[in-house]
């Protein structure tokens, strides 16, 4: 029987849910092919022939257009066909495959509290679904999951689509000359329940929280005179299906997320289309030196934590401990004591009811309490809900690297008068020693952050604070919406089986994601009125990436090679170029951000270091015409790019974190029946392709810190390509951060990994090198530094049998580009001294007790420290808010 006769005979199948779907012979062929592959007999021609035999047998057994076979009917016949054709080994593999699929389906349904799997659940792997279930899917008062992953992504996409609807030319006029009855629109906020699932676009219904965002978005635009129709007329247009085309936009946003090509920051997925409605991850609050202002900031922080966000606060305006308080004739308790208040509030108020908040506490180097601040977190149990960083300005840096004596004056926050003189070298040594011991504090280079800060002119002040993980600088009461593109998904397979990056798809995804994040600003429900105002004045967004390490694995390019750095640089430049270009296009149709004319943009300046500091001939894109477009049309968002932590998002997208190297290729999980190994999927494919995949090899890699270095059975090209965080010298971690930072408007979340035997001098050298490379901030993590806890528990038996040294690319930079004598001598000495013994064992650290603060608070498994943030690779818990 030929294919056309078969197709006329059987056109449909009945799925497990009872639903009818189109019959597709290719699905049978694919399942058989997988069974063949499991027996090392992968042959597409044989699979196709056996699939044809299966269909013939279905017809013989009386299945027709009217008698529709079930999935189980087809699978039973596949088994009998394989046995009848003498392929008993393939039949056995197929039966095992079928059993495993059934088991996996059952596990997924159990995790998601579903009776049948929705389309997203079928596509996403079990670990992705576990993360969605633990943190993102809505639950009822009994804590039972009440939505499927498909429904979750739909509620997010609908809300983002509402952002587009109100800019339709039928209802929107950019010129702002129309007056509407705003009270009428706001009156609908009192009757949300009556409009639950009453309006829709295409097949997408608006729940009452979507409807609330529609009202608030309308009111914001109507207040600016930009709504051409009344709110009732808008509803009439929706009911009359005059805005149906926006269903396609919603589908576009939905598919971008469910294809795992792009995901917004965690609060967006948690709260979009829900009661809280707060969609941003990053906030900064001011902290002025008065009790009323301090309590206001504390109260605002509590509201932000409750809504699912994290807060950064610079405490440098608070007078030092022991200073006179005029109103009471008492003495000030100092900024650290007020950090403890915020720490306690964080403990009590869970983020969005789901996790504790995260904080960034900053004190600038000139503050008299800076030394106490630096050493405060070296012991466990202190300020556990804080990341802390020291803010560095030009004056401190100059004292450190350009003066012989290094004298530096600490000044009163109250009147800026000198309080005492210290030595800049001693202070940086203290910071380095503390970071060596406990991975804190980090450094924030405010001089670099403000070097190309086009917004400072509008705010009449420099940036002085960042979000909890340090990658997003913000002014007080600003918020930022972050999102990340999964780069490893954007590859094309060539005829020879190799992969190449799809630059056109990258551009398309950047443009869609930029619009997505801009819409979030309009449909967001902000926790504090001042945040609503400040966020809309600047319309700052932070589009970033994830999956960089996996992309380089796919392309067979070593992360820390010249080719690797050049590719990462181009990826970074493209991200900011196309997001900026899309932001200009949005400004043309919707209007520039309100403070644009008061910034340096009209003067032709942009907030991108690479444009100014990289030779023009090395640029991959034409920036000058883009700058002219900004001068002509304005720009929609003050900044567009940030590389944020993506720990949990990466688990949902099934890719590596942010722009970090993989922390291990193989790590073990000990269960009662023995050792069980997880391995990177792309690496696993490579092992199988090269006939190297065995439990013995996996155990060897796990026992080698999850690294391939020095393992004789692994070919050299694999050792070069499949590098891990511990394979890469700390100087190259800095270089990787720098090549991204050149073109990113905001900053980068990155951990500078160091082996446990580095010295505090090496940490200091890393600071010097970071500033030379133009970084805006940095976090070092010495393996074993966090209260006796190692970076990743790859194996109980882990031994490191390899050394790492700086790449030639990094060495060339140091030798040719660093001219300051002090920095040159420090960095050269540090890099030259990196000679290790052939074998370094960390058993002594492994067997020490793991302190409770390094265990996941949700599932009590070990936390890992990447992107300046603690995450759990078991359940997806993250100490950061964005990912």
Just list the catalytic residues. Answer: 467, 469, 471
Q: How far apart are CA 805 and CA 793, in angstroms?
A: 23
Q: How far is CA 562 from the centre of its chain?
A: 25
With beta carbons less than 8 A apart as the criterion, state whether 834 and 755 touch: no
For the record, the structure tokens of 167 come out as: 């800019």
With beta carbons less than 8 A apart as the criterion, state whether 488 and 551 touch: yes
Rounded alpha-carbon distances, angstroms, from residue 72 to 31, 62, 366, 617? 13, 15, 72, 62
- Strand 840-841 relative to strand 799-800, pairing: antiparallel
Coil/strand/helix, residue 219: helix
Residue 272, C-beta contacts closer than 8 angstroms, at least 6 positions apart: 155, 156, 159, 160, 279, 523
For the record, the structure tokens of 716 come out as: 């050299």
- Strand 666-671 relative to strand 674-679, pairing: antiparallel
Peptide bond into 525 cis (omega under 30): no
**Beta strand residue intervals within 650-734, DSSP E:** 666-671, 674-679
Q: How far apart are CA 702 and CA 688, in angstroms?
A: 17
- How many other CB atoms are found less than 10 A from the CB of residue 91? 21
The H or E element containing residue 507 is: helix 503-523
With beta carbons less than 8 A apart as the criterion, state whether 702 and 666 touch: yes
Q: Is the dihedral of CA 174, 178, 181, 183 positive or negative?
A: positive
With beta carbons less than 8 A apart as the criterion, state whether 592 and 636 touch: yes
With beta carbons less than 8 A apart as the criterion, state whether 203 and 247 touch: yes
Q: How far apart are CA 282 and CA 471, in angstroms?
A: 10
Q: How far apart are CA 423 and CA 426, in angstroms?
A: 5
Coil/strand/helix, residue 325: strand
The closest of 481, 507, 491, 515 to 253, measured between CA atoms, is 515
Rounded alpha-carbon distances, angstroms, from residue 307 to 26, 271, 279? 47, 8, 9
Peptide bond into 441 cis (omega under 30): yes
User: Angle of helix 126-135 relative to helix 88-112, nearest 10 degrees?
Assistant: 10
With beta carbons less than 8 A apart as the criterion, state whether 332 and 321 touch: yes
Q: Which residues pair with 480 in a beta bridge?
A: 282
How does DSSP assign 652-663, residue by residue? HHTS--TTPPBS
Q: How far apart are CA 311 and CA 556, in angstroms?
A: 39
The closest of 380, 309, 367, 366 to 338, measured between CA atoms, is 367
User: Among all chains, which residue has been given the structure tokens 């511990």?
Assistant: 726
For the record, the structure tokens of 881 come out as: 């808010």
Rounded alpha-carbon distances, angstroms, from residue 45 to 1, 48, 58, 483? 18, 5, 20, 43
Q: Which residues pair with 786 in a beta bridge?
A: 789
The H or E element containing residue 808 is: helix 808-817
With beta carbons less than 8 A apart as the criterion, state whether 25 and 6 touch: yes
Q: How is residue 785 annotated by DSSP?
A: T
Q: What is the number of helices (H) and of strands (E) in the chain? A: 35, 28
The closest of 200, 192, 240 to 216, measured between CA atoms, is 192
**Beta strand residue intervals within 458-606, DSSP E:** 479-486, 491-493, 499-501, 541-546
């Amino acid at each position: 029987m030929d294919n056309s006769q078969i197709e006329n005979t059987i056109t449909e199948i009945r799925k497990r849910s009872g639903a009818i779907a189109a019959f597709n012979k290719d699905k049978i062929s694919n399942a058989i092919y997988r069974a063949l592959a499991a027996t090392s007999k992968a042959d597409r021609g044989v699979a196709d022939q056996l699939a044809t035999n299966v269909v013939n047998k279905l017809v013989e057994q009386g299945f027709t257009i009217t008698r529709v076979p079930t999935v189980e009917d087809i699978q039973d016949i596949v088994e009998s066909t394989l046995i009848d054709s003498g392929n008993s080994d393939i039949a056995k593999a197929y039966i095992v495959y079928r059993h495993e699929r059934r088991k996996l389906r059952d596990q997924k349904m159990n995790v998601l509290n579903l009776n049948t799997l929705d389309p997203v659940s079928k596509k996403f792997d079990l670990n992705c679904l576990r993360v969605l279930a633990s943190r993102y899917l809505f639950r009822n008062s009994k804590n039972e999951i009440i939505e499927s992953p498909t429904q979750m992504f739909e509620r997010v996409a609908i809300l983002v689509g509402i952002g587009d609807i109100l800019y339709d030319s039928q209802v929107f006029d950019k010129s702002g000359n129309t007056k509407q009855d705003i009270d009428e629109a706001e009156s609908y906020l009192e009757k949300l329940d009556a409009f639950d699932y009453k309006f829709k676009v295409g097949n997408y219904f608006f729940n009452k929280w979507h409807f609330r965002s529609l009202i608030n978005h309308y009111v914001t635009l109507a207040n600016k005179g930009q709504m051409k129709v009344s709110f009732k007329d808008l509803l009439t247009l929706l009911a009359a299906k005059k805005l149906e085309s926006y269903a396609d936009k919603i589908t576009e946003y939905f598919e971008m997320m469910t294809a795992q090509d792009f995901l917004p920051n965690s609060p967006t997925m948690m709260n979009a289309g829900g009661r809280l409605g707060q969609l941003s991850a990053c906030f900064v609050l001011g902290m002025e030196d008065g009790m009323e202002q301090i309590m206001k900031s504390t109260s605002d922080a509590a509201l932000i934590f409750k809504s699912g966000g994290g807060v950064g606060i610079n405490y440098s305006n608070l007078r030092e401990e022991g200073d006179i308080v005029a109103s009471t004739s008492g003495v000030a308790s100092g900024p650290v004591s007020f950090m403890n208040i915020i720490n306690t509030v964080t403990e009590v108020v869970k983020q969005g009811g789901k996790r504790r908040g995260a904080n960034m506490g900053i004190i600038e180097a000139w503050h008299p309490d800076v030394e106490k601040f630096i050493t405060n977190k070296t012991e466990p149990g202190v300020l556990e809900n804080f990341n802390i960083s020291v803010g560095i300005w030009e004056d401190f840096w100059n004292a450190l690297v350009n003066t012989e004596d290094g004298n530096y004056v600490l000044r009163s926050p109250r009147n800026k008068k000198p309080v005492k003189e210290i030595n800049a070298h001693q202070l940086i040594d203290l910071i380095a020693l503390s970071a060596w011991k406990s991975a804190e504090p980090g450094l924030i280079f405010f001089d670099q952050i403000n070097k190309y800060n086009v917004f400072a002119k509008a705010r009449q002040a420099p940036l002085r604070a960042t979000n909890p993980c340090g990658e997003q600088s913000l002014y007080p009461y600003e918020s930022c919406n972050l999102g990340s593109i999964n780069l490893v998904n954007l590859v094309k397979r060539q005829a020879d089986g190799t992969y190449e990056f799809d630059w056109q798809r990258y551009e398309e995804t950047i443009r869609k994601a930029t619009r997505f994040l801009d819409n979030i600003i309009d449909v967001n429900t902000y926790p504090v009125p001042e945040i609503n105002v400040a966020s809309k004045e600047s319309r700052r967004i932070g589009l970033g990436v994830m999956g960089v390490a996996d992309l380089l694995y796919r392309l067979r390019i070593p992360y820390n090679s010249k080719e690797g750095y050049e590719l990462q640089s181009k990826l970074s430049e493209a991200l900011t170029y196309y997001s900026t270009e899309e932001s200009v296009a949005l400004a043309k149709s919707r209007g520039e951000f309100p403070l644009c004319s008061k910034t340096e943009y009209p003067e032709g300046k942009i907030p991108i270091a690479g444009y100014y500091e990289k030779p023009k001939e090395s640029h991959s894109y034409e920036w000058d015409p883009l700058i002219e477009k900004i001068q002509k049309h304005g720009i929609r968002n003050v900044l567009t790019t940030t590389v944020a932590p993506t720990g949990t998002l990466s688990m949902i997208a099934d890719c590596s974190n942010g722009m970090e190297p993989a922390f291990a290729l193989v790590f073990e999980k000990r269960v009662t029946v023995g050792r069980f190994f997880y391995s990177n999927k792309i690496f696993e494919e490579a092992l199988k392709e090269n006939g190297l995949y065995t439990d013995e090899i996996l155990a060897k890699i796990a026992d080698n810190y999850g690294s391939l270095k020095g393992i004789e059975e692994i070919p050299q090209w694999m050792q070069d390509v499949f590098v891990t965080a511990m394979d890469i010298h700390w100087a190259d971690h800095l270089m990787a951060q720098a090549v991204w930072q050149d073109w990113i408007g905001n900053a980068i979340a990155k951990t500078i990994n160091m082996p446990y035997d580095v010295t505090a001098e090496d940490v200091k050298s890393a600071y010097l090198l970071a500033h030379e490379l133009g970084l805006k901030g940095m976090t070092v993590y010495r393996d074993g530094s966090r209260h006796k806890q190692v970076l990743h528990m790859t194996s109980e038996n882990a031994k490191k049998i390899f050394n790492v040294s700086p790449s030639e690319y990094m060495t060339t930079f140091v030798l040719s580009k660093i001219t300051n004598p002090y920095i040159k001598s420090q960095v050269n000495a540090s890099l030259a001294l990196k000679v290790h013994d052939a074998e370094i064992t960390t058993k002594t650290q492994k067997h020490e007790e793991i302190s409770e603060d390094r265990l996941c608070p949700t599932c009590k498994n070990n936390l890992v420290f990447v992107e300046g943030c603690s995450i759990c690779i078991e359940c997806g818990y993250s100490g950061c808010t964005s990912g």
